[in-house]
Amino acid sequence: MNKLLTMVAQRLALGLLTLFIVSLIIFLGVELLPGDLAQAILGQAATPETVAAFRRELMLDLPAPERYLRWLGGILQGDLGRSLANQREISELFATRIGNTLFLAIMAALISVPLALTLGTMAALYRNSIFDRLVNIVTLSSISFPEFFVAYILILFFSIHTGIFPSISNISDDLGFWERTYRCTLPALTLTLVVVAHMMRMTRAAIINLLASPYIEMANLKGLARSRVIVKHALPNALAPIINVVVINLAYLVVGVVVVEVVFVYPGLGQLLVDSVSKRDIPVVQATSLFFAAAYVLLNLTADVLSIVTNPRLLHPR
């Protein structure tokens, strides 16, 4: 237990260091954007005095290191800043968007994780069969296409040709659960097709790798059914790499929804990020980017911990 706590503390410290480096990259990336932010917001018709006053209001007249420390200090105190586009608190903007993004990510995870585990187990059970090759071809094909291409193909077939699902996932707080789920079906299917291949192939590879183990050979010699050998003996011991890739793909479901949300006009954090970039709303861009980075780091830490819990031998590397 002490070694596990030590490992978690080390991973957490490394995660905080990573977030610090990411915050520097985000701030420097914004600093390197061409043009004057104040001039871009006010327009070319603004007088030099107005631009200078607006720069002071945005604290753009301060040196970059001081502005970075002010921004980082506000983040550590829970103050994300204020939007330049509508003067609303960024935390208030997040409150209306983060639930939508998490709902879409959870919905996609509830579809993709059981599907990937089932397909991976069956592909290992019927290795080199037509089913195995067909599943590999379909999943590799889906992951080879860009997300927006997969999204538009789904819209073409399920919205335009058949009219089963809406092409725009316009949701609001007054919608019921099933209506919200119905409108989120196409974005969730898009994310599922993108991530299911990774999880399926890792499940298949992990199980096939364990099938050559001595205890699996002993189970086969005892006359156990092959399906029972895989489900009862091989799959539990293959959980460490499977959990690792599953959680990493869940991290992608949270931080990789930007393109999908834009295609389906879904009111989540990804859409907020793109809208803020188009409006040059720099504080919102910085806060959203840092949130995505923090979510990815946290879920990667979770993957490490769960991998070690399911396989304690990882605490004692050779």
- What's the pLDDT tens digit per position in 156-213? 888 888 888 888 888 877 788 888 888 888 998 988 888 888 888 888 887 777 777 7
Read off the pTM: 0.80
- Residue that has been written with the tokens 């059970």 in this structure: 125
Q: What is the pLDDT of residue 10?
A: 80
Q: What is the pLDDT of residue 318?
A: 54
Query: What residues in the chain have per-residue pLDDT under 70?
Result: 1, 34-43, 310-318
Q: What is the pLDDT of residue 314?
A: 59
d(CA 103, CA 101): 5
Closest among 194, 215, 195, 191 to 203, alpha carbons compared: 195
Q: What is the pLDDT of residue 9?
A: 81
Closest among 243, 138, 123 to 192, alpha carbons compared: 138
Q: What is the pLDDT of residue 269?
A: 86
Phi, psi of 89 (to 5 degrees): -65, 140
Q: What is the pLDDT of residue 27?
A: 83
Q: What is the pLDDT of residue 36?
A: 64
- CATH number listed for the domain at residues 97-315: 1.10.3720.10
What is the residue extent of each domain of the chain?
2-76, 97-315
Contacts of 150 (CB under 8 A, 6+ apart): 142, 190, 193, 194
